[in-house]
Amino acid sequence: MRRFFRVLLLFLGLLIAAFKVMKTLLKVREDPEEREPIGEDLGGDLQMMKSFDGTPLRVEVLGQGPALVLVHGYFGNLGFWHYQRKELSRKYKVITFDQRGHGGSGTPHTPVITVEDLARDLDKVIESFAPEGAVVVGHSMGGMGILKYAEIFPEKIGNKIRGMVLLDTTALPISRALYGGSLWYKLGEKLILPSTIICIKNSQIIERLKELLTKTAMFPVGVRYLCFGPGASYNQIDYISVLARATYIGGPLMWAAGMFMEDHTSVLSQISVPVLVCSGGIDRVVRPFASYQLNEKIADSKLIIIPGAGHMAPIQKYRECNAFIDEMAREV
């Protein structure tokens, strides 16, 4: 038994050392974004508003012109859109908000958070800050919320939403679109959802584990592999840990339980506005095939695959993404 524990400790020590080496290798590369103050205060008008059920949402409005509403994904907040807020606000009114259970927004007193909740939050944000209508941009889970909006508010498509940009997202159940595919779907109802509910009930313990994890060398190495492509900026990779620490784990766990098996494919054929579908070519979170499906099912859509980009394409390949968003806003 002692020999077993010695071997185990040796293995763990080697593993920790390996992650530290990999982290160092990530940092020694030339980083063109090293001096970029990602997440800085850009001087936008920050407000708190109440959503449809009274949940407080933190909203920022930056710039003037035609409205863009940007909807972040899992474990994000409005700071996720740093590059888009900074550049696009020069010619557009850029509206961002923290999704419920994320960042500075509140968490409802419900067992789970659903994609319909996000769709109704989005509706309140648009009605309050862009009643004239907007182009909406959704990343990952944010894109799922936009598709749900189209499902429950079909009469507002073309009026309140004039165009869509769907980045690294899916209409399929997230359990099917994730890297690992059908395995997650098969395990979903039997194992993953019950485990998530248990984690929600013990969220304080899980939060401590999350805080510890984000401080280890393992975290940036894992983020680089799952979320970024080759040559990624360490400053950008490290910002993901900042986003993760800014959100209490309870909200994302409630989201995971509420959205894991949801399917939005039935609404795709009903979307009547122009849609730009973008995916990182090596997205290891939401696999690119999900974007191909969106493009195939949405009549007025265009597909762009961004070479060398992972799931965080709006951060790593922000110039390309900003150009695509600008293109959509000018066309509508």
Whether residue 28 is contained in a domain is answered as: no
The total number of residues shown for the chain amounts to 332
* Three-class secondary structure of residue 44 per DSSP: coil
* CATH number assigned to the domain comprising residue 292: 3.40.50.1820
Is 9 domain-assigned?
A: no
Domains contained in the chain, number:
1
Q: How far is CA 159 from CA 95, 134, 144, 164, 173, in A?
A: 17, 9, 20, 12, 28
**What's the confidence (pLDDT) of residue 47?**
97
pLDDT tens, residue by residue, 83-95: 999 999 999 999 9
Does residue 306 sit within a domain?
A: yes
Q: Is residue 68 part of a domain?
A: yes
In a domain? residue 18: no
Domain that holds residue 51: 35-331
Show the low-confidence residues of the chain (pLDDT under 70).
Answer: 1-29, 179-190, 192
Residue 160 lies in a domain: yes
The predicted pLDDT at position 26 comes to 56
- Residue 286 CA: distances (Å) to CA of 102, 161, 170, 293, 311: 20, 24, 7, 12, 7
Predicted local distance difference test score (pLDDT) of residue 33: 93
The residue type at 305: I
Asked if residue 269 belongs to a domain, the reply is yes
Does residue 257 sit within a domain? yes
Backbone torsion region of residue 71, taken as left when φ is above 0, otherwise alpha when ψ lies between -120 and 50, otherwise beta: beta
